[in-house]
Structure 1
Amino acid sequence: MSVKKRPVSPRQKMINLMYIVLMAMLALNVSSDVLKGFTMIGESLKRTTGNAMKENQALYADFAEAMKGNPAKVKPWYDKAMEVKRMSDSLYNFAGELRMAIAREADGKDADPDNLQNKEDLEGSNRVMLAPARGKGKQLFDAINSFRNRILALVTDPRQKAIIASNLSTDVPRNENTVGKNWQQYMFEEMPSVAAVTMLAKLQSDVRKAENEVVHTLLANIDLKDIRVNQLNAYVSAEATTLYPGEQFRSKIFMAAVDTTQRPEIYVNGRRIAADGSYNFTVGGPGQYSFSGYILMPNAAGDVIRRNFTQKYNVIAPPTGATVAADLMNVLYAGFDNPISVTAAGGNAGVHLTMTGGSLVQRGPGKYTARPAKVGEHVTFTVSGTVNGKAQNMGQFTFQVRKLPDPTAFIQVGADRFRGGRIAKGSIIGAHGLGAAIDDGLLNIPFRVLSFETVFADRMGNFRPEPSAGANFTENQRNLMRELRRGQRFYISKVRAIGPDGIARNLNGSLEVIVN
């Protein structure tokens, strides 16, 4: 029996049309002040990028001059600098091509990305960056990651590394507005064209700044001409600064960025020592001591630079105590075998360890596993042993006891742990079910999943929950997975798991699965 559609009155059609127009106007109502702000930011970025490019050109010119003067010495650093230039130019030009493509989508073939007319256009960035098959977003994502990783391999300064990694990060913040989104969707989906070209301009600026940092470092390695030579200092590298009486103090005294073809003059307490910086002596009784001196070194201009240094060191009496350390951190977890290490002066032979508030098992010399009984209580370790033929209490050590943190749920797909996102339909159907574990790099603790729930959306938009009373997918859940089409998704939530401590817990959050 067929069902006839109820006719819609002309008045109702007009109301529906007005509603659609209103929604479109609301979606496009981007503040003109906000759009103007993006334009001002873009102009500032253009000036910053231009200045960085001029400085980079000057650095490459310095490299070329250095190559003429001493090719054998300079060539390894010059080759690395040229590789940095090629990488930087490639990503910079690619970002420029994407800016032009988005501008043309918004303003036509004569568009200028630095002077957009249709700033509020929402389709340009979608078509260029996110269009199926031909969208360039994933290609840009991969290019940024490759550039960042290769650039960071040439940087040794932790501060520089942190700045470059932060500026070129492709991490997506985790919140309710980014669930299920990849980087390119987070950056360009429904983004006004002026905002998209401004973000690409910022990427170009970050590329040139990263290039500048690396080329500066490479140039500093071959000569002292770099302006950062002003930070040149003398250093003492000691094998140890805390010693026992009768031990020998061993160190190297050197100047940072010293040219190996130039031998410095090193003076300690007024006496010149070997040019390789070796300086050794036997320390006396317990106490705090220091020695000082200076280094003379000619720079590239022929001027002699003097840098003073002072090195402190301590001499302590032989210890008679012991140390107990939790191998994971300064807390213990209840119901779990926590690894414990004991170190005693003179070695661990004859050392005995006891524990209150739980059980203790020795695993080897100085190695134990401690299993606290209750959360919130303290456990105390007592170390005893024989020192110089006498039985002694070598110390007590108290630790807090906490509950194991909640694990993270995952789907075991072959040897991999899938924690959400896109996955091939065959892979998810072939998976047995859920697992859970704490595997944050510090702990690696498996949990057993007791139950969970999947939620699918039907064709009418209604959500259908489907529970499982164990860790495996039910047949109903698998049938619903088989019905999913490419791009559709379902959610796994209400996961309940139990750990080695015997405590069952409900895991927060949900796992989103998108079928490829």
Structure 2
Amino acid sequence: MAGGKMSARQKMINLMYLVFIAMLALNMSKEVLSAFGFMNEKLVENNASTTLKNNSAYENLATKASEQAAKFAPLKVQADKIKKTSAELYAYIEELKGTLTAGIEDKQAYESMDKTAVLDELFFKGNKFTPEGQEFIDKVDTYRNSVITTLGPNSKFVPVLEGRFSTKDVEIQGTNKTNKWLKARYEGFPLIASITNLTQMQADVKNTESDIVADLLGGKLEEALSLTNYKGIVALDKNAYFAGEKVTGKIVLGRYDATMVPDNVTLNGKDYKNIQSGQVIIDMPSGNIGNHDIKGKIAFTQNGEIVEVPFESSYSVIPEPSTAVVSADKMNVVYRGLSNPISVSLPGVSDNNLRVSATGGSLSGGRGKYIIKPGAGNTAVINVSATLSSGKTVNSKSTFRIKDIPAAMGSVRNQYGTVRMPKSGLANSPISAGLPDFEFDLKISVQSFKIKVPGELTIIVNGTTLSAAAKKVLSKARRGDIINIYDIKATANGYNLKKVLPVNIELTN
């Protein structure tokens, strides 16, 4: 169209053709802008889901570290550093996105987010970067280098991190030239495309956390499944025996896997054949009064080779007991307002021959299993007496501290803390309370609560669901508002709870 001498009519046709192409491009651009917006929404939802999954993994690792510090505590230190570093970059990007969209009233009007000026002016000044642009590069570099330092230079995640969070110059396709990473990825792009690009980087952060924590846990669990890490466990029916009794119990592997039957067992220097369902059943004379060892090896065939797993334990043969053994079934205290289970036993004496009483609370039950309901004091005492087969009377007592039920937590849809949900969901969801880490099964009933909507008066609600007045103030809340449910009054098994922690609801629409 550009060559040769053209008539006025041909020029007009060419102009109309160019206008037509521009119109098509404009329509396509709107569709692409919307597509970027919808993609950004999906990424935001995925990031929220991955955050929940990551939090669960961190909690799982924390639990394992508290239970098996030697194995998991160093991994938790690594995970905590990665979690902190990731949270800092994620929060920075979220703040940056807020800055870019601060002047946009409707955050979902994607077709209007076609301008490039907002980000270009924030990051670029001529051919150079603004302080904000350089800060963005530095944040990404700091995150990548910090995680690599935490994991070590030989980690298999180093190539992943260097790929996902690279800020190296980018080769211009079809040429031998390069362009700065920030310019290649963000300069001249529609605003919604850059927002989506930033959300994708947040997704990379969350996925990196997920991959690393899963690998930290998986590596140790895979290591634990190796036969070389098994340990023989001697599980005796009792820890001490009277003279003349037989020592009874089991020798098992750490996983108690009944499908793993040993090839042979050596017990105290001799071959032992009493093996049932992967367990070595102990049945032998106890011996004289004093300490006795039980040790040997369990042999398995693994990959054509014999693997021997050693075991070792000891037991004591003692004279007849002179004191009873009393222990709380679930904790070292008893709780006011609850039926606390107590087990009472005396070696060598049957449960029905024990005489059990209590001070500081009411006691019920029998045959070794009792329930104590504490009174108003600070201690409860369990008194035990029995007559041994020798005719000797044994008296013993154990003291327990009495404590109030700990503070419960308010909840919505069985979720605690800050819960994200739509306004309609809150309007129709009952307010509950629970003690997620408490050993007792409690029936907690909410009697009343207060609800505070930003900018509105606090409403007192009787019952568990929002009243008409509460729903009215809730209707004035906007997306992103934090609704506070507090001063929750509740009872547990008929006992008035002294404190119930609040629950906050972040509105999603």
- The normalised TM-score by structure 2 is 0.54
Show the counterpart of 2:486: 493
Change (3 A) 1:252 1:202: same
2:372 pairs with 1:370:
yes
1:380 shift after superposition? 1.6
Letter in 1 for 2:380: V
Q: Is the 8 A contact 1:450 1:469 kept in 2?
A: yes
Secondary structure of the equivalent of 1:349? Answer: helix
1:477 shift after superposition? 0.7
Change (3 A) 1:285 1:43: closer
2:384 pairs with 1:383:
yes
Change (3 A) 1:35 1:318: same
Q: Is the 8 A contact 1:489 1:515 kept in 2?
A: no
- The normalised TM-score by structure 1 is 0.53
How far apart are the structure 1 equivalents of 2:204 and 2:469?
47
1:507 shift after superposition? 3.4
Deviations 1:277-315 (A, max 9, x none): 77753122321122666789999798x988876543211
How far apart are the structure 1 equivalents of 2:497 and 2:505?
23
For 2:350, which of 343, 347, 350 is the aligned residue? 347
Q: Is the 8 A contact 2:422 2:508 kept in 1?
A: yes
Secondary structure of the equivalent of 2:337? Answer: coil
How far apart are the structure 1 equivalents of 2:487 and 2:253?
61
Change (3 A) 1:498 1:26: farther
1:193-232 → structure 2 map (5 Å cutoff): 200=207, 204=211, 220=226
How far apart are the structure 2 equivalents of 1:327 and 1:243?
23
How far apart are the structure 1 equivalents of 2:274 and 2:477?
74
Letter in 2 for 1:245: A
Show the counterpart of 2:285: 282
For 1:117, which of 181, 194, 197 is the aligned residue? 181
Secondary structure of the equivalent of 1:480? Answer: helix
Show the counterpart of 2:145: 40
Show the counterpart of 1:423: 421
Change (3 A) 1:23 1:328: farther
For 1:476, which of 438, 461, 469 is the aligned residue? 469
Q: Is the 8 A contact 2:249 2:281 kept in 1?
A: yes
Show the counterpart of 1:409: 410
Secondary structure of the equivalent of 2:435? Answer: strand
Letter in 1 for 2:142: G
Change (3 A) 1:256 1:206: closer
How far apart are the structure 1 equivalents of 2:389 and 2:262?
53
Q: Percent identity?
A: 18
For 1:465, which of 458, 469, 480 is the aligned residue? 458
Secondary structure of the equivalent of 2:488? Answer: strand
1:399 shift after superposition? 1.0
1:494 shift after superposition? 2.9
1:480 shift after superposition? 3.0
Secondary structure of the equivalent of 1:319? Answer: coil
Letter in 1 for 2:135: V
Change (3 A) 1:109 1:352: farther
1:440 shift after superposition? 2.7
Show the counterpart of 1:30: 135
Q: Is the 8 A contact 1:253 1:279 kept in 2?
A: yes
How far apart are the structure 2 equivalents of 1:41 and 1:396?
57
1:232 shift after superposition? 8.3
1:430 shift after superposition? 2.7
1:56-455 → structure 2 map (5 Å cutoff): 117-118=181-182, 127-128=196-197, 130=199, 200=207, 204=211, 220=226, 235=232, 237=234, 239-240=236-237, 242-249=240-247, 263=263, 266=266, 268-269=268-269, 271-274=270-273, 280-290=283-293, 311-319=313-321, 321-345=323-347, 346-358=349-361, 360-374=362-376, 377-388=378-389, 392=393, 394-411=395-412, 420-431=418-429, 433-455=430-452
Secondary structure of the equivalent of 1:444? Answer: coil
How far apart are the structure 2 equivalents of 1:261 and 1:369?
42
How far apart are the structure 1 equivalents of 2:206 and 2:212?
10
Letter in 2 for 1:40: N
Q: Is the 8 A contact 2:480 2:506 kept in 1?
A: no
Deviations 1:257-279 (A, max 9, x none): 9x98995584744x555596777
Change (3 A) 1:125 1:248: farther
Secondary structure of the equivalent of 1:48? Answer: coil
Q: Which has the larger radius of gyration?
A: 2
How far apart are the structure 1 equivalents of 2:250 and 2:334?
41
Letter in 1 for 2:459: E
Change (3 A) 1:489 1:381: same
How far apart are the structure 2 equivalents of 1:507 and 1:39?
42
1:125 shift after superposition? 9.0
RMSD value, Cα: 5.3
1:438 shift after superposition? 3.1
Deviations 1:382-402 (A, max 9, x none): 123444485845311111111
